[in-house]
Amino acid sequence: MRRNVLAVAVWLAVFVFSCLAFAQQKSSEPPTMATVLNRQLSDLEREFVPAAEAMPEDRFGFAPTNGEFKGVRNFGQQIRHVAASNYLIAAAMLQEKPPAIIQAEDGPESMTSKAELLQFLKDSFQYTHKAFAAINEKNATAPIPNPFGSGTVTRLGLGTEAIGHCFNHYGQMVEYLRMNGIIPPASRPQ
């Protein structure tokens, strides 16, 4: 357990410093936390959305069955969950109520078509960009209520959680695509 915590801490430090270094190379202005997080979110979107678009609609109900996959989310549910979680995290960062359709982190069960899910996903990323843009040095580490449990968290912590959470599900979606004979767009030769 201690090794895992140390590994995550090292990864996070490398991530933050590499983001800051990259941002400084692009601009003479020092980067802000908001610009670093928004750049990372944009990079994530450029991989996540095309991966979601790559799966044919008739395979959105796909979930692996060979092995220990009982109870896992299917492809469409992965997208809906990420979008709902983006809304919950961003709303907490903005100190707003999430949209009424978001009842839980799995999103509205009535939303199942590819078009609906892709729009829900894209809209959730835009809302998350809005939340990231509102981060500043004054509020980044101020305690705010934890949207997923008791206690408090910080906007900066929620921002890094949003990106990490999306990449977690992106990895699962990549596996689902490959199990269906689809090369993820980010892995295709240029």
Q: What is the pLDDT of residues 147-180, one digit of tens each?
A: 888 899 999 999 999 999 999 999 999 999 999 9
Backbone phi, psi, residue 182, to 5°: -110, 125
Q: What is the pLDDT of residues 26-72, one digit of tens each?
A: 657 889 999 999 999 999 999 999 999 999 999 999 999 888 888 89
- The gap from C-alpha 172 to its chain's centroid, in whole angstroms, comes to 12
For residue 184, give the nearest of 171, 168, 167 by alpha carbon: 171
pLDDT score, position 91: 96
Residue 75, pLDDT > 80, answer yes
Q: Two tokens at 154?
A: 């910080």
Q: Is the dihedral of CA 79, 103, 133, 162 positive or negative?
A: negative
Q: Two tokens at 61?
A: 């109900």
Residue 25, pLDDT > 70, answer no
pLDDT band at 1 (very low <50, low <70, confident <90, very high): very low
For residue 163, give the nearest of 85, 91, 108 by alpha carbon: 85
Name the more confident of 100 and 145: 145
Q: Is the dihedral of CA 13, 19, 25, 29 positive or negative?
A: negative
pLDDT score, position 8: 43
Residue 12, pLDDT > 60, answer no
Q: Backbone dihedral region of 153: left (phi > 0), alpha (psi from -120 to 50 degrees) or beta?
A: beta
